[in-house]
Amino acid sequence: MLLGISVSSVSKLLTMNLEAVKQIGGVLIILLGLHTTGLLKIKALYAEKRLLSFGKVGEKTAFGSLLLGMAFAAGWTPCVGPTF
């Protein structure tokens, strides 16, 4: 129930400010396009952050495999869901 209330509240907020959301989205698309072409270099996009360390480099654990699988599934689902 709380999830439904929060999603509807965020949706209402975004709908009330739709013009600003469109403009911000357009600017982001242009900036990322310029970054992709190499005309603009955004250093923050080249950074690597690791939140979890799983021991020594190259050491494989079941927990690490589980987390990697979950991350892959979370990224893959929106891409493949409409196809199915």
Q: pLDDT tens string for the chain (84 positions)? A: 888 889 999 999 999 999 999 999 999 999 999 999 999 999 988 888 776 665 565 567 788 788 888 888 888 777 766 666
Q: Are residues 34 and 54 in the same domain?
A: no
Ramachandran area for residue 56 (φ above 0: left; ψ -120 to 50: alpha; else beta): beta
**pLDDT value of position 64:** 78
Q: Which pLDDT score, from 0 to 100, does residue 27 have? A: 97
Instruction: Say what the pLDDT of residue 72 is.
Output: 87
Same structural domain, 54 and 41? no
Q: According to the model, what pLDDT value does residue 69 have?
A: 87
**Which pLDDT value is given to residue 66?**
87
**Same-domain pairing of 43 and 81:** no
Q: Does 77 lie in the same domain as 37?
A: no
Q: Are residues 37 and 8 in the same domain?
A: yes
Q: Are 64 and 38 found together in one domain?
A: no
Whether residue 10 is found in the same domain as residue 38: yes
* CA torsion, ordered 60, 51, 24, 82, to nearest 10 deg: 30
Residues 28 and 61 in one domain: no
Question: pTM for this one?
Answer: 0.52
